[in-house]
Amino acid sequence: MEHIAALLLIVGCSGDLSQCRELPAPVTVFETAEDCVATRALSLREMSGEAEHVMGTCIGLDPALEEDYAELVWSVTPDGKLDASVETATVVASNSHRPEKDYLSQE
């Protein structure tokens, strides 16, 4: 089984950066971060006609957490910087059974 070490995110934005959307990169997952970086420039050139501003970034992933990743979160800052991360799922434990208090033994 191959492990994923990096993910390529490409985003296209309007001229004023007010409207941005993910663009479909030709290849989105890589076994090494270096492979992602090497592919990024070519992918950006290929996607350049899809929006006024096209930007991309490689997001490093921890192969040990591969099963825990849940959501790709990204934003474009007003100065045109693409910030992106892959968030892990948050599991919250709860116990719906609550022991009843023994009011007679409490003082």
In angstroms, rounded to a whole number, what is the distance separating the alpha carbons of residues 72 and 49? Answer: 24
Q: In the chain, what is the greatest distance between 2 CA atoms, to the nearest angstrom?
A: 76
What's the pTM?
Answer: 0.74
pLDDT tens readout for residues 35-70: 999 999 999 999 999 999 999 999 988 766 666 666
21 vs 32: CA distance, rounded Å: 25
Averaged confidence pLDDT in the chain: 82
CA atoms within 13 Å, Cβ hemisphere of 103: 0
Cα within 13 Å of Cα(55), Cβ side: 18
pLDDT, residue 88, reads 76
Q: What residue spans define the domains of the chain?
A: 6-88
- DSSP state, 80? S
